[in-house]
Amino acid sequence: MHAVLFELGLILVTVPVLALSLNLSFIEALIADIGFVIYALFYSAVFNLVYDRVFPINATPFQPICTVN
């Protein structure tokens, strides 16, 4: 729910900025912004998959170097 509300808030902020800076109608800016959101969704999914393959989490738990008695 938090991520959905964050994205909706981001769209509310970026649609007017896109519309004014690129001389688009608000519908065109909304469509462009939805395209950006979909692109970011797939980019982040692929990035996380690749990152997890390149830098896997060690299967063994952390072993302390020394112990204090």
Q: What would the pLDDT profile of 32-60 be if each residue is shown by its tens digit?
A: 999 999 999 999 999 999 999 999 887 66
User: What is the model's pTM?
Assistant: 0.67
CA 49 to mean position of chain CA atoms:
13
As a whole number of angstroms, the distance between CA 43 and CA 36 comes to 10
* pLDDT level of residue 2 (50, 70, 90 thresholds): confident
* pLDDT level of residue 11 (50, 70, 90 thresholds): very high
Q: How large a percentage of the chain has pLDDT more than 90?
A: 70
Averaged pLDDT, 18-31 = 96
Q: Which two tokens stand for residue 57?
A: 């989490």
User: What pLDDT is recorded for position 18?
Assistant: 94
As a whole number of angstroms, the distance between CA 9 and CA 63 comes to 43
